[in-house]
Amino acid sequence: MNTSCAAPSNPPSSAAKIDAVERALGPNAPVERRETSMAWVFLTADRAYKMKKPIRRRIFDFSTTDLRRHACSEELRLNRRLAPDVYLGLSQLKRALGGVLSLDGEGETVEWLVRMRRLPDARFLDRALANGAVTEADIIAIARRLTRFHQSLPPEVPSSNEYLSRFQSDLEETRSFLPKKSFADEASRFERLTALLASVLAMEPGLLLTRLTDRRVVEGHGDLRPEHVWLGPPVLIIDCLEAARGLRLLDPFEEYATLAMECATIDEDWVGKLLFREATKRMDDRPDARLSAFYTAHRATLRARQALAHLLDPTPRTPAKWRPLARRYLVEAERAAAILETTGAPRANRHDGAAGSPRRKAGPR
């Protein structure tokens, strides 16, 4: 069996690889295919296979077979930290001498896939919230899982410039995005937000760097969203950001602020408030409210820009989805920005809730 990592000569097209995977997985049952901006996911009754797209972006490069193999290996390694029984291994799409493609068969490797155990959709946090099926006990269990994970990690010590550069790069990319004529309606909101966030970084770098000097920065998940949290039991967290290690070097409370913000965009503010209450208690750490507001405003601004960027694709998927979603993120960014504008420099006072004032839903149904 040829297991060489050398790039295949005359590689098959993405369409041919998709067709081969679907045929291999579904001779006796249908295969559901889902598409994201970075991958195709093939779902059977009890398994999921992820095949990365051959694309390159600022923060990752999946343009060659070997780069995708490395990214799949990293996805496996990193996600086993929070979902060890879900990430089963790697599969190889092979091409025999006659050109026939098969999954884990004979021949040269033309593609790599991450092989996972499929989790029931209804227990993912986004679905469960939509169905009114989330309890306070569920959020406490999430907090317990995340804080134990973060406490188990060694502190990371990037330089001050390296640590701040992630935030600065995000702002620069958002600024370069603003001249796009398609987004004139949102441009002024992005301008106000990026100006405020840049001012905080320039005038108050200690707000973030204190977390670094206090050895609070770890190599975390990097992309904590409701659709990546499975309620279990036990709670499992999937789909960490595997492509860029620098984006995973963060304060755990940035992760909590991100999940809180994502839930707030779907009118579930109570999740973030309870998550922060439990996390501060379990981590014995109570960051300044201003820091949480910065994290929230930064992440929500970034996600708004990423949502609108989908509309720049030649054939965007679900085009009606992205502008309303971006505007919900902008609302959350502006709520957090209001805290930054009204509180002044960081003080000794602490807080026990996610950024933002109480509103909308007060708790689980």
DSSP string, 32-71: EEEE-SSEEEEE-SSEEEEEE-S-B-SS-B--SHHHHHHH
Find the mean pLDDT for residues 156-181: 92
Q: Write down which residue in 118, 147, 173 finishes a domain.
A: 118
pLDDT > 70 in the chain, percent: 92
Q: According to the model, what pLDDT value does residue 213 have?
A: 96
On whether both 271 and 167 belong to a single domain, the answer is yes
Whether 362 is covered by a domain: the verdict is no
On whether both 201 and 141 belong to a single domain, the answer is yes
Alpha carbons 190 and 327: distance in angstroms, whole number: 11
Question: What tokens does 235 get?
Answer: 């709670």
- 185-225: pLDDT as tens digits: 899 999 999 999 999 999 999 999 999 999 999 999 999 99
- Which residues have C-beta within 8 Å of that of residue 340, sequence separation ≥ 6? 196, 200, 290, 293, 294, 297
Q: Which residue, among 356, 341, 351, 345, has the nearest Cα to 205 in the 3D structure?
A: 345
On whether both 297 and 209 belong to a single domain, the answer is yes
Whether 238 is covered by a domain: the verdict is yes
Find the mean pLDDT for residues 60-73: 96
- The number of domains in the chain is 2
Whether 351 is covered by a domain: the verdict is no
Contacts 24+ apart (CB under 8 A), 159-162: 160/205, 160/209, 160/212, 162/246
- 248-260: pLDDT as tens digits: 999 999 999 999 9
Q: According to the model, what pLDDT value does residue 354 have?
A: 59
Task: Decide if 143 contacts 275 (C-beta within 8 A).
Answer: yes
Find the mean pLDDT for residues 257-285: 98
Whether 2 is covered by a domain: the verdict is no
H or E element at residue 94: strand 87-95
Whether 297 is covered by a domain: the verdict is yes
On whether both 180 and 101 belong to a single domain, the answer is no
Tell me: pLDDT of 350 over 80: no
Structural domain including 87 reads: 14-118
On whether both 255 and 320 belong to a single domain, the answer is yes
On whether both 127 and 264 belong to a single domain, the answer is yes
Higher-pLDDT residue of 183 and 85 is 85
pTM recorded for the entire structure: 0.91
Q: Write down which residue in 85, 118, 151 finishes a domain.
A: 118
Task: Give the pairing of strands 218-219 and 249-250.
Answer: antiparallel
Whether 7 is covered by a domain: the verdict is no
Whether 355 is covered by a domain: the verdict is no
Q: Which residue, among 59, 54, 336, has the nearest Cα to 173 in the 3D structure?
A: 59
